[in-house]
Chain A
Amino acid sequence: EAGVAQSPRYKIIEKRQSVAFWCNPISGHATLYWYQQILGQGPKLLIQFQNNGVVDDSQLPKDRFSAERLKGVDSTLKIQPAKLEDSAVYLCASSLSDRGAYEQYFGPGTRLTVT
């Protein structure tokens, strides 16, 4: 079974530039999550999708971050414009459902450096 795919793996941009990350979840997984992991901290949820609908985006900085999940499969996360404090690893995860203790499977992450 293929895992969660993410690209790019690394990205370096200057502040005020824009960047986009892509995620392809495990086939058949209805729930998709984007987490932000700042160095030395645990991952923090940015947005959760159930199929192509948003379940929770309460911690997404909507003035600069946006995300979509067209057709309930792939997802993209965009930052525009980037700030220095956005330097982090962006993790995508998927699970069969958002009900019960279904395991979340994580992708390798995209390491973003904003200079």
Chain B
Amino acid sequence: GNSVTQMEGPVTLSEEAFLTINCTYTATGYPSLFWYVQYPGEGLQLLLKATKADDKGSNKGFEATYRKETTSFHLEKGSVQVSDSAVYFCALSDQAGTALIFGKGTTLSVSS
């Protein structure tokens, strides 16, 4: 069945450091891929998405490229801020529009 695997955390960085959170998936066909973020005390929010191979999703300085050849959707940001501290979830939805399948989440902690 479909699944998502993301790197385990926590990830601890200093402000302005480069961020990469790895995400790989297993799916039949051509799923849509998502990154959701959960800030402390808040609900899940969509951060970015990509719906087909080679698409790049971007938002708030974060980027992720849909790589079908490596079945990956790694999240990157060139310079993290303290306000980026949160839990990040990689997720997929297949073409039939089924519910999201999430990874386990990666906790990011950024210190000043």
Decide if A and B are genuine partners.
yes
Whole-angstrom distance between the alpha carbons of A96 and B69 in the complex? 31
Of B43, B49, B98, B105, which one neighbours A103 at CB under 8 angstroms?
Answer: B49
Q: Looking at the complex, which of A11-19, A63-71, A75-83, A105-113 is the stretch in contact with chain B?
A: A105-113
Whole-angstrom distance between the alpha carbons of A85 and B4 in the complex? 23
User: Does more than half of chain A's interface fall in helix, strand or loop, or is it mixed?
Assistant: loop
B104: A residues at CB distance < 8 A? 40-42
**Contacts A45-B99, A91-B44 given; 5 further ones with Cβ under 8 A?**
A98-B98, A100-B97, A101-B32, A106-B36, A108-B42
Docked-complex contact A56 and B44, CB < 8 angstroms: no
Docked-complex contact A97 and B102, CB < 8 angstroms: no
Docked-complex contact B102 and A104, CB < 8 angstroms: no
What distance in Å separates the Cβ of B65 from its nearest Cβ neighbour in chain A?
Answer: 16
Docked-complex contact A98 and B97, CB < 8 angstroms: yes
